[in-house]
Structure 1
Amino acid sequence: MKLGARILKTGFAITVAIYVAHVLGLEAATYAGIAAAFAIQPNIYRSFQTMLEQIYANIFGVGIGALVVFGLGNDPFVIGFTVIIILAICMHFKANENTIALALFAVLAVMETTNIELFHFAVIRFSALTLGILAAFIVNMVFLPPNYELRLFKSIDQVTSDILQWLRISTRHLSDDPALRTEISRIEAEVHHIDYTYLLFNEEKYYFRRSRMAKMRKLIIFRQMINTSKKSLATLEGFHQYDEKIENIPKEFQHVLVDELDKLIYSHERLLLSAMGKIKKNTTRPIEDITDPDIPHLVETLIHVYEQDEKDRLSLLPLAARLMEYHKEILHLQRILTSYQKFHEDLDFNFKKKRTKVLPDR
């Protein structure tokens, strides 16, 4: 069983909220812990946005609940009707699930049966819920802050390595069909998670101009790395889909296909290694000249092979199109990475110095 950073932060935030509530003498410490559990978010930006939304929801829920109890009492039918109204209003303002849950919790907390004076009771519940929200925000900001830059790059590197490994196996007709289908499904899920991690990294805010500019440049490179990996995955799916047709084309062309794809894979790998700083910088030999796969010529040769057979002449054209798109994305990645390393050498990724293990959000 793995304990992710978010699990640890949730437990710590609840502990802090309940402890502070006891220190301050609040009678509803449990409510502070529940509010803290609702407020934990995967990054600081979302935590701040959630804090504001949930404080508003807390004010709204406690206020409406207190007014209804004061005017109509706390009969179960009245509570149910009030909950319906709160849900409708929250849905109108497109509040997220946690905010809606906290608003409902605030209403129920105020409308429960009690002998304490209503105003005093509402203040206690409001204070406890607000304390939990603030505790979660502070814990999320200072305890195990997420490093989405490092996490994103490692995820891209791992997924790309898996794709390229399966590409090499598939082009030589060594892959097991069920195993490859399973791996493609797994990799697609990993790519979806990478998109989500990229979104979280994009949401992080920097308040110094130098940091903002460095992040913007890295966002461009990360986005292109993801696009290139997606095209490599599309190429892998193409080889899996057209595996039988590839086996029927002339052996000579099969060798050319494997050689050119190997160059493409090699070029992709070199770019990732270069981004990590694991390849020596050579000013006399730029990245563009490391490998030169001739994919356009490969596509022309493929069409030429089937010129005499009208029926099957264009059968592998979809695969050729995927190869062209993959090659195009690699060339674009080469250009932007070369520009980044040339003009912003002092802002290199330099992940070699970052040995701290990053806990996943679970």
Structure 2
Amino acid sequence: MKLGARILKTGIAIILALFLAQLIELPSPVFAGIAAIFALQPTIYRSYLTVIEQIQGNIIGAVIAVVFVLMFGNEFFIIGLAAILLITLNLKFNLENTISLSLVTLIAIMVTPGDEFIEFALLRFSTVMIGVFAAFMVNLVFLPPKYESKLYQKNTSITEEISKWIRISTRNATEHQLLKADIEKLREEILKLEHLYVMYKEERDYFKKNILAKSRKLVVYRQMNTTTKKALDTLKRLHRYENEILHMPESFQEAIQQELDCLINHHEQVLLKYIGKIKPEAAIMEGHECLNRKELFELFLSQQKDFVDDNKQILYHMMQLVSIIMEYGEHVEHLDTLITSFHSFHKDDQHLEVETKIEE
């Protein structure tokens, strides 16, 4: 079992929250530890937003708790009504993420009223907020997340898996059910890839130079993700129409095989180009140059005369296959252009940091 940064940070945040609450001699420091668990977030920016939201949500919870106890007491029924009101207000003010912790604050204040109730309520609120700030400090200082290297690694691993299956599929060597199961897994990996992109997008830079580079990187990674998804779409079409492809002339099958070999080679080389493994101006192709879109379309049209009306359905399916291959090629070319442009503007930029992390 791998001990990840999120697990370590959760433990450190709980320790820090409990230590600070005990250091200040606050009663029931356990509430600080609970607050730290709720407040820990995957990115520094989200952690900052959580602090702001939790302050608002817990103020609402504390105020409702104090008002209800002073006006109605602290019977179980009253606590339930206060919780309903708190949830309603949090939803109204778009503070859904604070509901759990603000309910903890409300219950912690309402269950133990006494002669010095207002002071007790302030102490409970302070204890919870110490946990929130402890989680923020841990997220800021300890093991700050670096989603760029994770995003690049995930992209390359998915692309390698798709490329492997495309090569096998074009040579009619796949096991149908096995490939079907792997396509489902790849769909799930694409969803994780998109989540990593969102996490990387939320990371904030505080220097103008880095902000400009980050904006260009976001464009590159967005296109990188789109190209990978188009590669998966191509694999799905190959899998869906594998029988129809076998009914096509051998010359057409060989041309599609060579074209896809060329495209996936180009795709893999473009990813290497981004981290400096290949020179930006390089255009390395194996065997032959990829067909341009006009040549590929003409190749498809040339097959029409060989099919009678009864086999037009096969031709219709091949049109879909050729269409997705053309789209895939367009996205690979666009990604190549973006990466070449990026290198021309940021020759010494942080893409080298990605390469270093991968090698480590």
- Asked if these proteins are the same fold (TM beyond 0.5), I'd say yes
CA–CA distance in structure 2, aligned partners of residues 2 and 128 of structure 1: 32
Structure 1 residue 88: Cα displacement:
0.9
Partner of 2:78: 78
RMSD between superposed Cα atoms in Å: 1.9
Partner of 2:324: 322
- The alignment covers a number of residue pairs equal to 354
- Determine if the alignment matches structure 1 residue 352 to structure 2 residue 355: yes
Structure 1 residue 3: Cα displacement:
2.6
Secondary structure of 1:347 counterpart: coil
Structure 1 residue 290: Cα displacement:
11
* Counterpart AA for 1:86: L
TM-score, normalised on structure 1? 0.93
* Counterpart AA for 1:53: E
CA–CA distance in structure 2, aligned partners of residues 243 and 329 of structure 1: 24
- Determine if the alignment matches structure 1 residue 107 to structure 2 residue 85: no
* Counterpart AA for 2:170: T
Secondary structure of 2:348 counterpart: helix
Secondary structure of 2:272 counterpart: helix
Partner of 1:249: 248
* Counterpart AA for 1:76: F
Structure 1 residue 280: Cα displacement:
4.0
Partner of 2:275: 276
For structure 2, the residue ranges without an aligned partner over 5 or more in a row are none
| CA offset digits 1:235-294 (Å, max 9, x no partner) | 000000000000111112111110111111111111011112112455xx5579997311
Partner of 2:61: 61
- Determine if the alignment matches structure 1 residue 224 to structure 2 residue 227: no
Cα 1:220–1:271 shift into 2, 3 Å: same
Cα 1:286–1:165 shift into 2, 3 Å: closer
CA–CA distance in structure 2, aligned partners of residues 194 and 75 of structure 1: 49
CA–CA distance in structure 1, aligned partners of residues 35 and 340 of structure 2: 48
* Counterpart AA for 2:235: L
- Does the CA contact (< 8 Å) of 2:153 and 2:358 recur in 1? no
Higher relative contact order (CA 8 A, sep 6+): 1
TM-score, normalised on structure 2? 0.94
CA–CA distance in structure 1, aligned partners of residues 96 and 37 of structure 2: 15
Partner of 2:19: 19
After superposing the two structures, state which structure 1 stretch, 87-96 or 46-55, moved more.
87-96
Cα 1:54–1:169 shift into 2, 3 Å: same
* Counterpart AA for 1:323: I
Secondary structure of 2:114 counterpart: coil
CA–CA distance in structure 2, aligned partners of residues 93 and 39 of structure 1: 19
CA–CA distance in structure 1, aligned partners of residues 178 and 81 of structure 2: 54
* Counterpart AA for 1:344: H
Cα 1:249–1:83 shift into 2, 3 Å: same
- Determine if the alignment matches structure 1 residue 293 to structure 2 residue 295: no
Partner of 1:360: none
* Counterpart AA for 1:171: T
- Determine if the alignment matches structure 1 residue 183 to structure 2 residue 186: no
* Counterpart AA for 1:34: I
Identity of aligned residues (%): 39
* Counterpart AA for 2:59: I
| CA offset digits 1:166-203 (Å, max 9, x no partner) | 11111111111111111111111111111111111111
- Does the CA contact (< 8 Å) of 2:265 and 2:285 recur in 1? no
After superposing the two structures, state which structure 1 stretch, 8-17 or 130-139, moved more.
8-17
CA–CA distance in structure 2, aligned partners of residues 199 and 153 of structure 1: 13
* Counterpart AA for 2:166: L
